[in-house]
Structure 1
Amino acid sequence: MVATTRGANSPRKLKFSDKIITKGLTTDALVKRMKTLHSELASIDQDNVDTNTLQGVRKELISTTILLHKDKGVRALAACCIADLLRLYAPDAPYTAPELKDIFQFFFRQLSTGLRGPDAPYYNEYFYLLESLASIKSIVLVCDIPAADELLCTIFRNVFDLVPMGLPKNVEMFMAEILVALIDECASLPSEVLEILLAQFLPARTRTDSPAYRLSIGVCTRTADKLQRHVAQYFGDLLLQHTPDDQTSMPAEDVEELRTAHELVQRLAQAVAPLLLNVVPQLEEELRVTDQTIRSIATQTLGAIFGDSNGAKLARTYPSTWAQWLLRRNDRVAAVRVIFVECAKDIVSRHAELKGDMEEALKGKFMDPDDKVRAAVCKLFSQIDYEAALHHVTKSQLEELAGRCLDRKPVVRHEAFNSIGRLYSLAYPEIENNDLAAVPQFSWIPGKLIEAAAMPETRDEAEKCISEFVLPMPTKSEDVVSWTERLLLVMKYLNPGHVTSLLALANLKSPRPSVFERFIQCCVDFNVCVANKRYIIQVNIHCQGGTIDKNEEEITKNLNHAIKVVTSQSADASKLADDLRTFAKLNESRLYKLLKTCVDPQTDLKALIKCTSEFHRRVEQASSGILETMSWVLRRASLHIVNQSSIPTLVKKLKLSDQPNTESQSLVGMGGDEGKYYPLISRSLLTELNPSELIKALADEKHPRLVQCCTQALAAVVRTDNSLAPTEKRTTDRLVKIAQCDSPKQAKFALRALSYCKDGADLCAKVVKNIASTLPKAKGDTLVAHIAALAEAAKACPEAFEDKSNVITTYLDEMLTDDADEEWVEDNQLNAIGKAKLLALKVMHNRCLAHVNSDAALDVSQPVFKLLFAILEHGGAVNPSIDYDSRIKARLRLQAAVSLLKMSSAETYGNVVLKNLIMLAVTLQDTSFRSGKSEKELATGSLHRCAGSQSAKLRVQHFDMLFIRLLHLLAHHPDFTVTTEGLQDMAKYIEFYLDIVATAENISLQFHLALKAKTVRDADSHVFSEISKKEYLPEENLQWLSSAGKPIRSPTSKSRKTGDDKDKAPRKRKATASGRTNGTTKKARRPKKTNTWREQSADEESDEDLTSESDEDQDNVKTQHHANTTSTREERRLRRSRGGEELEPKQDSEQSGEEEGSGEEESGRESGRESDGETEEEVDQGGDKDKSVGVARKKRRMRGPRLTHRKRRASRPSKP
């Protein structure tokens, strides 16, 4: 047996033998004894202690003398000693339950008051106490105390009150250990403890730097399994408590508490998602309830949960909840749908794996019936970043977004423009770097914005979007090169139509002085007038009807007119007018000067940036309410997209435009011809390039586009100001050479520039002479360029052309009569001989226009008219005996019609064209679609230009009178036949005319014109021929259409009808009665099936009216009733003016049918008529009555086809 050393494994006994509680013991002595005791207890190992030796200090330490001692040190040391005793006695407790309750309350009182920071007194002792509770887990003894819920709540409150004190991290760790141990060991967690924990997740406390928030996250994460059931029960009780009955609404207080609870769920989902294992299904059930408030709150909460960083994982964990949430996109309440869309932002931005579901969910929201939903889905895209837009959003979604720029609601358009423009601005750096993913995804956006700018309702917002996001002005003037390069890069991805529209938005086509410059001058004059008036009042000078008053009235009138013209360009004219008047009354001369500088085309980019910035600042200081309007004025008036500062960069880029795949190629679409659109800008080309550099540019044969640009710019400049025309011989010699080159555009503009030079006539004559001598030998592009130069010479310098006119016209006539085998191709692919023939016609009409004011105008134009009408008459062939190719003939028909249209703009030639107007008009319906389309486009543009040159009064008077021309054209249309099908085709034209022109105010005038037209016949047909019969069918169709329930639009402006419209009717000649009865006449004029067709049309329209749900139906009925009433009054007025003469009845289809069967009744009413006579006599052979008719005819005279007036015999006997 092995001997053991005596006392080697015996438990250690406490050596401390002093009394802690002794009468007369001072505090210092007590503190000293307590420290000695604490040191010895701390050194004893838990597994090797004789607890019997601890009995004395165990009882003394919990005495009230110690626990309630006034000295803080005594209490702190006592707490440490008691904690050591709990460690040494573990796992058994050395105290009873009531004593333990007092001890733990004592512990946390000491911690709450003493653990304030490392600098606090006895901080080490308090830290020791906290560490002992956390590491030894003696804190779990609290759970063994009966009715310990209150103590648990106290501990949790004390801990979360203490943790925000900025304590070290290890203190937070010990506190977390204590709370975790309490939650794990307690049998039932008090609800107040759970509320204390969850309160740390409320929005006001959820700061990442908050120690309490970090502590709560740590505790909940480690005890999630234990807390899941309690959290689910907590929210379930809360939701059940605030769920309203079916018949009652939720009080505001309950709504607020419900929102707070759901916000708490959101925070828990972000921080401790495992806690919501049983809460998410409860939210899913809320999505199905009937109460809108609960559905809205649940939709917003789940949207935030799925939009969090771990939302994709939650969507996979709860697939049914995810699917049910997606169904809220079609909720019956728009507010819920808006919440759904707003919550989709974070999901789209963060979760690429949910891209498919979200694309499908948002697809239909762009067309949602509620504008708030559409606005919300458009706004969503303004809140995502570039990477999300590139990888998480499809191009089809962006196209849907761009489509909302044309939405009927302004709020939706605003959000759509802001979103699509912002996305392009974010993507531009990547597009500039030619990123393969960014270019197809975003490069098309400027084109859509330009298309939106073409619509009057959206132009203002589209312009704003383009100026802010697509082509913004640089913040520094040094960025002029990058500014211009950005324009070229944008244009690189535009089609030619978009490029043209963009240059129009750049204000390059605005005439000078512009309306904005006139407005600025009116503002200056107005304020000068006001200042003068104030001065006169101050010096007590009263002008009685003097000059001052007249000037003031005139200036005010001019200002109002300028404002009216400016506001006509905006959709919101009333607000714009008010703001402009406010601006005019500011009396800030500096503002007017800045605005004038901004709109000046000679202002460079540096000055424009400076003036624009100062202008905005001063306007905001003077009147912030008009800042938006004045920004609109700057966009419409200034050259903020391209100006003279851009030209040096453009010229450099033109040298690179022949290289493929560069942004310089966009100049090909731009044409390199700013001079074409705005000559004043091109003037900077002469200032930026000195003469030697200009000559060098013109002589640069390696870069033909540069030569063309410089030549065109020079032509535009000298055309505006001929003082800038070149005078150096080397420059003119180079232009002479270019005018004879093989490039049509270079030749054209070079000759134009030469015509404005000092010796322009001689230089042009030299070019014409050289071309005339080489013209017969010229082939291909050279021939085309020569004829282009001759066409320009005929217009710009006719005297030089006339020297060789015989030689040139002879050759051109021969060339036009030659056949060509080439087929129709696009203009840029048209072969040389085709281009030459077309340019030949242009040469001829240019020559005629040059002689329009001379005495020889008709002599010069007669062979040209003969040639042009022959081309139209023979279908495009000059000589019908030659077999032309049909497509070449179509091109010749088109050019002949264009030439006639241009010549008709001159009054001298207009009368000649009107004689064959039918032949020219039917070209609009040419069998070749291209020919008719181009002709129609050019006709529309020419009519607009012609209308602009006429006075407003004249345009108003003759607008409605075009109807007579339309009826005459329909009657003479070569495809018109007196059949049911023919009438149906003809009615479409009249319906189209009524839809455009007819209003509630002028429908009676149209009806009157139809009645008057029925009293005339062709002057060239003196018998009642087939053409004469056709003359009446369009009028009768109009009478039926205008009274058969066709909707009449409300007038958008003042009526165009004037009091003397009836005196502007086409010239007519009266004729004697034909002797036929009215019924017979109607049968001869209209086929029998006409009534059936009209009845079917009326039935169809009636069915449409019955099925229509438009809110305007009642308005249309009222308007139609007004039109019919007005027409009846018109008939009565005409009867009275004729002295009792009966008008031809205006009836609908059924009444017309009755009249056809009642010829005897018609004969009775018009007893003077014969039943079988068909001859008509000219009333010019009559007596006195004819004189009054002649006077009336003289008043009504106007140019047009010669018509005759068929006289109806009056009911009273005529004079012998």
Structure 2
Amino acid sequence: MDTDDTQSSSLIDSQMETEETPRLYFSKSLIGSPKPVKVGELQTLLKSLHEQLKDLDQNIDQSSLATVTKELVHKQIIKHPNKTARALAACCIADIIRLHAPTCPYSASELKTVFKLFVDQLGFFGKETSDFPYHFYLLENLQSVKTFLLLGEIEGPEDIVFPMVAEFFEVTAKASLPRNVELCMTDVLIQLIEDVGILGQEMTELILEQFERFDKYFSDILLSMSNSTDQNEDLEEIRKAHQLMRKVNSINPDLLLNAMPLLQEEMKVDHLGIRQLATETLGEMFAEESSNVAEKYPIIWKTWLGRRNDKSQSLRAKWLDLCVDICKNHPESVPELIECFKEKFTDPDDKVRATACRIVGEIGIEHDCKTMDKNLVELVGARAKDKKNPVRVEAMATIGTIYNNCYQRIQANDKLAIDKAGWIPDLVLSCLYLGDLTVQANIESILQTFIIPEDDNDADRAERLVTVVHSLKDKQKVALLALLQKQKLFNENMLTFVEMCEKNIDHSETSEHDAIKADEFMKYLAARFSDKARTLNALRSFRHRENQADIKLLRNAIDLNRTCKQVNTAKTKLLANLTDDQSAIVDIFQSILNRACPLILNKSIIAHLLKMAKLNKSRRATPATQRSLVAQKILSDMSTVYPSMYTNNLKDIINDIMSDNDSTADEGLQLLSEISKASVGEMKFKDEMVERLTAYVSEGSVEQAKHAATALAAMKNADLALVDPVAEWSDDFYINSRALLSRLTSFAQFALYAPGLIDPHIGSLIRFVEGNLLTTKTKEFNKKNDEWEPYDDLPELSKQKLTGVRLLVNYLIASKDSSELENFAINKIFTILWDLMDVTCESALADETNAAETSHLRLGASQSIVKLTQFHRYLSELTVPKFEKLSIALQDACYYVRQEFAESLMKGLQSGQVHSRYYTLLFICAHEPEIALLKQVKSFIQKRLSVMEVKQGESSVVDSSLVRLIHLLAHHPDFTEAVEDLNDFSQYFKFFISCVATPDNVSFLYHIVQQIKISKDMVAEELSKQNSYILSDLACLLIKTKCKDASWPLNAFGGRVSLQSRLYRALPAGAVQAETIKKSYLPKEFLTKFEDEHKHKSGEKNLHFLSFHVTIAPGQSTCDDKADKTAKLFVETVGKSNGHYAVESNGSLRVSNDGKVNGFDESGTEIGRTP
């Protein structure tokens, strides 16, 4: 092998030694002696030389060039009278210089002569000559070799090249040269200016002179565009002209004096491409840092501002983008532009609205709070609730950026910064009430990116969290807590997902059942996000990757026991890995991690919050005091949501409780109480701590007793350790006991967390609450004896009653699986609750007892029954009549009872803690007099329907609730066959239809209602059976009417439906069913009245089914003086079903009941009426 290599190498060296260096083979002389060579012969020689030279490269033997190099600059050649000979000589000299580069074979004086020859030859462009190929070869050669750089070696180069430059400009202005010639000339000019530096006064004037023709050039292009058949090609020429204008403007704007009006005209033409080019060009001109174009051409500026309302959405959006640099470079224009921006937040196109929101964040208005327009920021904030998600995303990002940039001033208590930007977190969190999954993901992103961004300094992070929460209104504080609770639940779910991924790595442990279960769980997780399909795909992809390192990173990122820094590190690394490996799922996992990672609340900030909570406990409402209270509130919420985070701080909390500082001890007690709830039966306290907690139960305030009892109940072996104290405390249960409320509160906590302590005493407690406490009349009330008062304002006895009832309910909740629980206790407690629902404000007023107390008792009883009957142990207590009795709470005389009960149902239905049967009760709100509550219920139902996954051909639980609603109404105490009552009851179905009915499910709804007519009521007597049939017919009538009004098809339902067996059972098939289905149970009087009313409404629509042509001009007798222009309205109806009208021109039209036409301008001002 080595021998072969050596032989090959020797062969190559031998070939290289024998290879000849290229050389010029030209032996004849170009110079004649004594007479010059004849023209014909000389041309032949020069052509031959030219052909050889142009094919040679720089590796030539330069000695072979010596003779021709010298002869070519001889005066016989350079000053030869024949043009072709001189042209060929110039080409040969150019090649000689090329082949000698980088050195030059000529002296300075010879170079001067050579360049004069070059300039002379380049002056022939634009003239008819057969030597054009030689002239172009020379030009291209000089341009590519950059031969003109040699001008730096001679004196007075400007005098040599000035005629050439002038000739270039002259010939390009007059003649139509090939494109490649123009490009070479341009490059030569650039070399002369940039590389050689030839730009004296005379040359500068010559260049600037050329631009005086620019306006003519520009107008000629516009004219050619208007007459052209190929506008795309001409548009490209116009684009080049615009690029030139921008360059001219940056050098000498005055040269554009006559071209500016042409730009203004371009902004008005129909061709979108030209309008957009003109708008972009002027926008860049206005944005030049040294520009005064806007000030110099105010009319053009106003015209350009008008492009914000261009009919093209792409141009309106582009206009907004162009404003960014104008705002940055010309602050004086900002106020006027901001007023223009404000209009664009309501633009009909969502891309324009999104752009408007984005550019506000880019112009940096927040850098100076004094000049920052608060109204502009508020308008951007309003778009955070836009119907389109891209607009919401940009709006939130912008206000988030503004808040982040203003934060340091807000944190320093700068009142101006607080006023103009401090409200932003409140606005962001208020968007949670939209109930949209996309919005929630946006909020989570904005919170972690801008509002509470990544910060490894835990003290600063705690301070920022306090600042943010301090700025929130109460409603948004509730929203933040709800968001954190959702994130906690999702964190737990993601931990389950991680465990599934870990198990999946070991295939031997994964069965087919496990795989199906895992996929169902991933579907459940994906349903928490708006893009369910992509989220599910991302979760599946991650699981199937089986990447152990990334699974570990995910576990670390969601670990509640890791610091902010550790969580951020794991999160960043995981996203980086996914970007490298599976970039398609990165944005989905970003949203997943925003929700699952413990970053808003984290264990690492607890110590700093505890320190802040202890500072400045003065009674004066100073900023420091307020921040201390906020820190305390955050700690309290944190202990509720993430009690496990306090593990490392438990010792400090216990020390606070053991201290003599009452305020500190109370805060510690509250925290310990919340932490204890998460670890019932696991807490271990030293004897002195148990004594301190016992003392709080015995002698402390109600709040102290409540928290201390919770902590004691969570102790390990509490059932044994507290037997004697509980027996002793039970002796205090008598009406006049000063400690009664504290005892009841403590026992309510014992009942919930250590029910074994209550077991021996439950009988006596029931007897006391039922026989003594609830029968004692509360004679204390305010002057009006209002039907509602907040809990804190209630008399002591009322609080005792409510707490006593809660004690009994807590006992049942905690004992649901206990074998010690006796039926006697269950029956007694439920009897108490059902009886409390019948205690009314009217009876309280008649007895002169506290009316507000009865409202609280009714509400508490209703909510407790719903909560208890969710457990299988107590489900038998909820018979059909009793379930229907619960609906009375939603028609309670007291608004607060209706509101609180409705909200508790909605919250439970949303979280899944309440059975879907309770959707039925919400429709009882149909007659709710408070519009806000009615809208809230309707919105909730519609949003729940939008997120429910219903398979093809199946119905939702809300659809099926119509059967329960009919049964409930059939047994309603107010139901009769009277026409007035049927009108009232029809409102329930109208409300149901408005919430639930769609073209897709209306056939199913009609079908299930029809099924009631061939079924028997399983609960009621014959009269109630008749009631069901009447209501069935009423519901069918209203469904058919809705279909007719909305032009929905009412097709036969193809599926099979079974009604709830506890409500209805099918009648025997045959004649009985045929008779009931055929018979109409609605009274004739009702049907007649209903048909008349419906005809009247249809008649009103038909009355408007007309055509009008109305022209109203200023000065006419029918025109209002407020009209500022002719309003021409051509109106035609577009459909009988909705009676809408098409309106031409700016304005709208209304048709009054007498058939006259009213015209209105854009502001809504009436500008005319037909006689």
Query: Would you say same fold, with TM above 0.5?
Result: yes
Q: Write out aligned runs for 1:979-990 (5 A).
A: 980-990=979-989
Distance (whole Å) between structure 2 residues aligned to residue 849 and residue 1104 of structure 1: 62
Amino acid at match of 1:427: C
Which of 421, 424, 445 is residue 442 of structure 1 equivalent to? Answer: 421
Aligned to 1:303: 283
Contact map agreement 2:999 2:1048 (CA 8 A) in 1: yes
Distance (whole Å) between structure 2 residues aligned to residue 461 and residue 865 of structure 1: 45
Aligned to 2:886: 920
Amino acid at match of 2:1091: N
Aligned to 1:714: 672
Q: Write out aligned runs for 1:231-242 (5 A).
A: 233-242=213-222
Q: How far did residue 933 of structure 1 move?
A: 0.8
Higher mean displacement: 840-849 or 644-653: 840-849
Distance (whole Å) between structure 2 residues aligned to residue 159 and residue 697 of structure 1: 84
Which of 1029, 1036, 1039 is residue 1036 of structure 2 equivalent to? Answer: 1039
Extract unaligned runs of 5+ from structure 2: 1-74, 80-104, 116-146, 175-183, 918-948, 1107-1131, 1139-1171
Amino acid at match of 1:1039: C
Amino acid at match of 1:1041: L
Quickly say closer, same or farther: Cα 1:870–1:563, change in 2 above 3 A: closer
Q: How far did residue 994 of structure 1 move?
A: 3.2
Contact map agreement 1:266 1:301 (CA 8 A) in 2: yes
Aligned to 2:643: 679
Amino acid at match of 2:856: R
Aligned to 2:781: 820
Q: Write out aligned runs for 1:103-122 (5 A).
A: 116=152
May I ask how many residue pairs the two structures share in their alignment? 914
Q: Write out aligned runs for 1:571-610 (5 A).
A: 571-610=530-569
Q: Deviations over 1:241-284 (max 9, x none)?
A: 23456575664443233223323433444454444444333322
Distance (whole Å) between structure 2 residues aligned to residue 381 and residue 375 of structure 1: 10
Aligned to 1:661: 623
Contact map agreement 2:345 2:353 (CA 8 A) in 1: yes
Distance (whole Å) between structure 1 residues aligned to residue 514 and residue 429 of structure 2: 37
Contact map agreement 2:1006 2:1036 (CA 8 A) in 1: yes
Q: How far did residue 930 of structure 1 move?
A: 2.1
Contact map agreement 2:493 2:525 (CA 8 A) in 1: yes
Q: Which structure is larger by alpha-carbon Rg, 1 or 2?
A: 1
Partner of 2:685, secondary structure, is: coil
Distance (whole Å) between structure 2 residues aligned to residue 492 and residue 472 of structure 1: 17
Which of 379, 399, 402 is residue 381 of structure 2 equivalent to? Answer: 402
Q: TM-score, normalised by structure 1?
A: 0.66
Contact map agreement 2:680 2:714 (CA 8 A) in 1: yes
Aligned to 1:427: 406
Q: How far did residue 938 of structure 1 move?
A: 1.0
Aligned to 2:963: 964
Aligned to 2:804: 840
Q: How far did residue 728 of structure 1 move?
A: 0.9
Quickly say closer, same or farther: Cα 1:763–1:373, change in 2 above 3 A: same
Aligned to 1:738: 696
Q: How far did residue 658 of structure 1 move?
A: 4.7
Aligned to 1:378: 357
Partner of 2:304, secondary structure, is: helix
Contact map agreement 1:698 1:710 (CA 8 A) in 2: yes
Q: TM-score, normalised by structure 2?
A: 0.68
Q: How far did residue 334 of structure 1 move?
A: 1.8
Contact map agreement 1:998 1:1049 (CA 8 A) in 2: no
Q: How far did residue 566 of structure 1 move?
A: 1.9
Higher normalized contact order (CA 8 Å, seq sep 6+, divided by chain length): 1
Q: Write out aligned runs for 1:492-571 (5 A).
A: 492-506=470-484, 510-511=488-489, 514-529=492-507, 551-571=510-530
The reply on whether 1:366 has 2:345 as its aligned counterpart is yes
Quickly say closer, same or farther: Cα 1:420–1:769, change in 2 above 3 A: same
Partner of 2:1064, secondary structure, is: coil
Distance (whole Å) between structure 2 residues aligned to residue 701 and residue 508 of structure 1: 37
Contact map agreement 1:772 1:808 (CA 8 A) in 2: no
Aligned to 1:884: 849
Amino acid at match of 1:676: T
Aligned to 2:1093: 1093
Which of 297, 312, 316 is residue 318 of structure 1 equivalent to? Answer: 297
Amino acid at match of 1:729: D
The reply on whether 1:933 has 2:963 as its aligned counterpart is no
Q: Write out aligned runs for 1:28-177 (5 A).
A: 72=108, 116=152, 161-165=191-195, 177=201
Contact map agreement 1:775 1:786 (CA 8 A) in 2: no
Quickly say closer, same or farther: Cα 1:1087–1:991, change in 2 above 3 A: closer
Which of 853, 858, 862 is residue 897 of structure 1 equivalent to? Answer: 862
Contact map agreement 1:870 1:877 (CA 8 A) in 2: no
Contact map agreement 1:417 1:461 (CA 8 A) in 2: yes
Contact map agreement 1:816 1:837 (CA 8 A) in 2: no
Q: Write out aligned runs for 1:17-36 (5 A).
A: none
Q: How far did residue 423 of structure 1 move?
A: 2.6
Q: How far did residue 661 of structure 1 move?
A: 2.2
CA RMSD of aligned residues (A): 4.9
Aligned to 1:755: 713
Partner of 1:514, secondary structure, is: helix
Contact map agreement 2:225 2:234 (CA 8 A) in 1: no
Distance (whole Å) between structure 1 residues aligned to residue 615 and residue 185 of structure 2: 80
Contact map agreement 2:372 2:420 (CA 8 A) in 1: no
Q: How far did residue 513 of structure 1 move?
A: 8.1
Distance (whole Å) between structure 2 residues aligned to residue 1048 and residue 510 of structure 1: 44
Contact map agreement 1:349 1:388 (CA 8 A) in 2: no
Which of 213, 224, 245 is residue 265 of structure 1 equivalent to? Answer: 245
Contact map agreement 1:960 1:1057 (CA 8 A) in 2: no
Quickly say closer, same or farther: Cα 1:1076–1:404, change in 2 above 3 A: closer
Aligned to 1:486: 464
Quickly say closer, same or farther: Cα 1:1081–1:590, change in 2 above 3 A: closer
Amino acid at match of 2:989: I
Q: How far did residue 931 of structure 1 move?
A: 2.0
Extract unaligned runs of 5+ from structure 1: 1-63, 80-110, 134-138, 184-188, 199-229, 533-547, 1114-1216
Contact map agreement 1:348 1:392 (CA 8 A) in 2: no
Aligned to 2:581: 622
Q: How far did residue 647 of structure 1 move?
A: 1.7
Quickly say closer, same or farther: Cα 1:146–1:911, change in 2 above 3 A: closer
Distance (whole Å) between structure 2 residues aligned to residue 1102 and residue 1010 of structure 1: 32
Distance (whole Å) between structure 2 residues aligned to residue 845 and residue 1012 of structure 1: 39
Aligned to 2:436: 455
Q: How far did residue 439 of structure 1 move?
A: 1.8
Aligned to 2:992: 993
Contact map agreement 2:844 2:850 (CA 8 A) in 1: no
Amino acid at match of 1:258: I
Distance (whole Å) between structure 1 residues aligned to residue 168 and residue 486 of structure 2: 88
Which of 448, 458, 468 is residue 467 of structure 1 equivalent to? Answer: 448
Q: Deviations over 1:708-748 (max 9, x none)?
A: 55334434444443464123111111222333465544432
Contact map agreement 1:605 1:643 (CA 8 A) in 2: yes
Quickly say closer, same or farther: Cα 1:368–1:860, change in 2 above 3 A: same
Higher mean displacement: 274-283 or 997-1006: 997-1006
Q: Deviations over 1:22-78 (max 9, x none)?
A: xxxxxxxxxxxxxxxxxxxxxxxxxxxxxxxxxxxxxxxxxx99x99986479999x
Aligned to 2:397: 418
Aligned to 2:270: 290
Quickly say closer, same or farther: Cα 1:1088–1:957, change in 2 above 3 A: closer
Q: Deviations over 1:888-915 (max 9, x none)?
A: 4433332232233333334565544544
Partner of 1:571, secondary structure, is: coil
Q: How far did residue 926 of structure 1 move?
A: 2.4
Contact map agreement 2:1010 2:1032 (CA 8 A) in 1: yes
Quickly say closer, same or farther: Cα 1:1109–1:734, change in 2 above 3 A: farther
Distance (whole Å) between structure 2 residues aligned to residue 1049 and residue 422 of structure 1: 48
Quickly say closer, same or farther: Cα 1:164–1:1035, change in 2 above 3 A: same
Distance (whole Å) between structure 1 residues aligned to residue 151 and residue 1048 of structure 2: 84
Q: Deviations over 1:658-680 (max 9, x none)?
A: 56424443345546232212332
Q: Write out aligned runs for 1:1108-1119 (5 A).
A: none
Aligned to 2:1148: none
